[in-house]
Structures are given as structure tokens and as C-alpha cells.
Structure 1
Amino acid sequence: MTEERIEEKLASYAQEGKKMFTTSSFQSHSLVLLHLISRFQPTIPIYFINTGYHFPETVAFKDLIAKEFGLNVINLPSQTPRYMQTDSQGRLLFASDPDYCCFLNKTQPLEAILMSHDVWINGVRADQSAVRKAMKEEQPAPHGTVRFHPMLDWDSKAIFQYQKKYNLPKHPLDAQGYMSIGCEPCTRKLDPNMQEREARWFGLNKTECGLHTDLIVKS
């Protein structure tokens, strides 16, 4: 989808009175969508799903980008205190049950946001994983909402070209070899023979946190 088409689609949602929002992990490649929103619909709320496990560099970068782009960034914490996020052995869930950890810290907090909005603007790309490749430009989500995937047909080259065109800043961990940056305990540096999402939950049969598997209605 071209920049012009994205602008038209966002304007169309606005004219229809649709209440829009987006979420962002504030990785370097995430900034393209945020920059587009800042140009076309800057009042759209940006929810930062604050798991409490983010790299300090990510939190600082989020604050920097919010100010530089003039974004309406809203902190979205988990409803479950950290001390309650343990298994029967007392281990934190990110080590023993990462799927449930993601549910408590990412999926569950977003449910209330979906209930109060109409359109979730989501920056997933088809080239990132098999799950995302199967998605459509517009797709139903829970609570009668719609997921809008404006970046679905963009690839890493298109992302790079946009970043270069607008001289977008880069996440400080990029230079250290991190390409897909999530929670600190579940993120590692990318090896040359790994796909982008394989740097997350390394060694586990897991490449998605639930936002793009649980919070979607498959047709």
C-alpha cells in the first residue's frame, strides 16, 4: 500500500467517525508506521504495551520518538502485578510459560482498548513470518473491531528506503545486532542465518506473542 493510499484510508476511517488506535514496540522498523501517522492523523493514540520487561533503551527511545514525532503515546501496563506472574515453583512466567506471560502482559491489556475503538492500525508485514503472510489488508478483530494492516505488502527494502528518505532515527540496540526487539529476557541478537522473528523466544516453538494470533478473527 502506497503512502498516498494509506493517507486516503486513514482519512476515510476518520470521515466515517471510526475511532482508531495503533500499538508500537518502538523498534526501528516500527517507526515507519508511526511517522506516517504523525504526517496524516497525528492525534491517533499510540499504545505502548508496557510489559515491565522492555530494555531501558526502548523506553528511552519511545520517549524520544513521541516528542520528535509529536505523537499521543499512552502507556498500557499489565493488569497483573509482577509478583503474581510466577508459576507453582516460584519462577517468573517468561522463563516457564512465555505464552501465558505474553497473555498477561500484552494480549489481556489490549482487550479493553479494542472494546473502546473501531480500528486497530497494525504494522505487521507479510515478510516477517508465516502467520503474518496469511493476513489480509483488513481483517476482523475481537469486539467488532477491524485490524488495518497498511504495511502488509512492504518488505525490508521498502522500510529501509522510507527510513532513508525521511532520515528516521534508529533504535540504539540496532548497532549491537538486535533486529527484532521485544522484552529483554526473550530477545537475543540476530545470527546471520536467522529470520527476523527468530531472534525472539530463541529455542522455543514460538514467534508470536498472541497479539497477532489471539486478537484476530480468521476468515
Structure 2
Amino acid sequence: MTFEEIKKKISGYKDAGRSLFTTSSFQSHSIVMLHIISRIDPEIPVVFINTGYHFPETVRFKDEVSRLFSLNTIDLKPSTPKFMQRDADGRLLFTSDPDHCCYLNKTMPVDTLLRKYDVWINGIRGDQSSVRKRMKVEQEAPHGTIRFHPMLDWTPRMIYQYQKEFDLPRHPLEEQGYMSIGCEPCTRKVDPDMMEREARWYGMSKAECGLHTDLVKN
């Protein structure tokens, strides 16, 4: 979708009286969606899913971008404290059950948000994974919420061109070889022969955190 198409769609939701929010991981490829929203309506809530496991660089970058774009950024934290996020052997869940860790720290908090808003603007791209490739521009989510995926047909080249056109900042960890940046314990640097998303949950039979599998109706 082009900027004008995205703007028209968001305006249509607002004219219909629907409440909107977006989520962002504040990676470099997320910045385009945030910049577009700032041009259309900077009052739309931008939710940063603060798991408590993010790189310090990500938190600082989130604050920097929020100021630069005048975003209405909100930190969303899990309701389950970390001392309760351990397995029977006392290990934190990201070491033994990353799916449940993601559920407690990401999926469950956002599921609560879906009860409050009508439209979830989500910046996934179809080229990021096989799961995302099957998504539609508009899909139903739990609790009657609509998922709106305006970046679904964007490519890395389109992202790069937009970043260059508007001179957008880049996540500081990219210079160190990180490309897909999530929680620190589950993110590694990208090797030359790896796809972008392969750096997440490396060595595990896991490719999604649950936001795009559990919180969508096919």
C-alpha cells in the first residue's frame, strides 16, 4: 500500500468511529510504519511491548524515535512478574519454554489491549516469514478487533528507499551485525548466509512469538 492508500484507510476507520492503536518493536524496519503514522495522526497510541528483556539500546532507541516523531508511545508490561516466570527447576522460561515466555510477556498483554480497541495497525511484511506471507491486508483478530497490515506487500528495498528519502534513524545494534532485534536472550547476530528472521530463537523450533499466530483468526 502507498502512503496515500494507508492514509485513506486510517481516515476511514476514524470516520467510522473506530479506535486505533499500533504496536512496534522499534527496529529499523519498524521505523517506516511509525513515521507514516506520525504523518497521518501522531495521536494514535504506539504500544511498545516492554517484556523486560529488551536490549538497552532498543529502549533508548524507542525513546529517541518517540521524541523525534512526536509519537504517543505507551509501554505495555506483562502482568506476571519475572519471579513467577520460572519452570519447575527454577530456570527463567526463555531458557526452557520460550513459547510460554512469549505468551506471558507479549501475547497475553496485547490480547488485553484488543478488548479496548477496534483496529490494530500492524507493520508485518509478507516477506518476513511463511506465516506472515499468508496474511491478508485486513484480518479478524480476537474480541472483534480488526488487524490492519498496511506494510504487507512492502519489500526490504522499499523500506530502504523510504528510510533514505526521509533520512530516518537506524537501530544502533545494526552496526554490530544485528538485523532482526527482539528480546536480548533470544536474539543473535545474523551470519552472512542467514535470513533476517533466522537470528531470532536460533536453534529452536520457533519462528513466531504468538502475536501473529494466536492473535489472528484465519
Q: Which amino acid aligns with 1:51?
A: T
TM-score, normalised via structure 2 length: 0.99
TM-score, normalised via structure 1 length: 0.99
For residues 31 and 15 of structure 1, the distance between their equivalents in structure 2, rounded to whole angstroms, comes to 26
Tell whether 2:112 aligns with 1:112.
yes
Deviation per residue, 1:115-155 (Å, 9 max, x gap): 00000000000000000000000000000000000000001
RMSD, aligned CA: 0.5
1:185 to partner: Cα distance: 0.3
1:167 to partner: Cα distance: 0.3
Tell whether 2:193 aligns with 1:193.
yes
Q: What residue is the counterpart of 2:8 in the other structure?
A: 8
For residues 171 and 23 of structure 1, the distance between their equivalents in structure 2, rounded to whole angstroms, comes to 17
For residues 167 and 69 of structure 2, the distance between their equivalents in structure 1, rounded to whole angstroms, comes to 12
- SS of the residue corresponding to residue 173 of structure 1 reads helix
For residues 177 and 26 of structure 1, the distance between their equivalents in structure 2, rounded to whole angstroms, comes to 16
- SS of the residue corresponding to residue 61 of structure 2 reads helix
Q: Which amino acid aligns with 1:23?
A: T
Deviation per residue, 1:9-49 (Å, 9 max, x gap): 11111111110000000000000000000000111000110
Identity level (%):
65
Q: Which amino acid aligns with 2:203?
A: G
Gaps of 5+ in 2: none
For residues 150 and 84 of structure 1, the distance between their equivalents in structure 2, rounded to whole angstroms, comes to 37
- SS of the residue corresponding to residue 128 of structure 2 reads coil
Structure 1 runs, 4 residues or longer, greater than 2 Å off = none
1:71 to partner: Cα distance: 0.2
Gaps of 5+ in 1: none
Q: What residue is the counterpart of 1:171 in the other structure?
A: 171
Q: What residue is the counterpart of 1:51 in the other structure?
A: 51
For residues 111 and 28 of structure 1, the distance between their equivalents in structure 2, rounded to whole angstroms, comes to 25
Q: What residue is the counterpart of 1:180 in the other structure?
A: 180
For residues 49 and 87 of structure 1, the distance between their equivalents in structure 2, rounded to whole angstroms, comes to 23
Tell whether 2:100 aligns with 1:100.
yes
Q: 1:1-219 counterparts in 2 under 5 A?
A: 1-218=1-218
Q: Which amino acid aligns with 2:83?
A: Y
Deviation per residue, 1:94-115 (Å, 9 max, x gap): 0000000000000001111100
Q: Which amino acid aligns with 1:111?
A: D
For residues 205 and 155 of structure 1, the distance between their equivalents in structure 2, rounded to whole angstroms, comes to 26
For residues 145 and 187 of structure 2, the distance between their equivalents in structure 1, rounded to whole angstroms, comes to 30
For residues 205 and 124 of structure 2, the distance between their equivalents in structure 1, rounded to whole angstroms, comes to 20
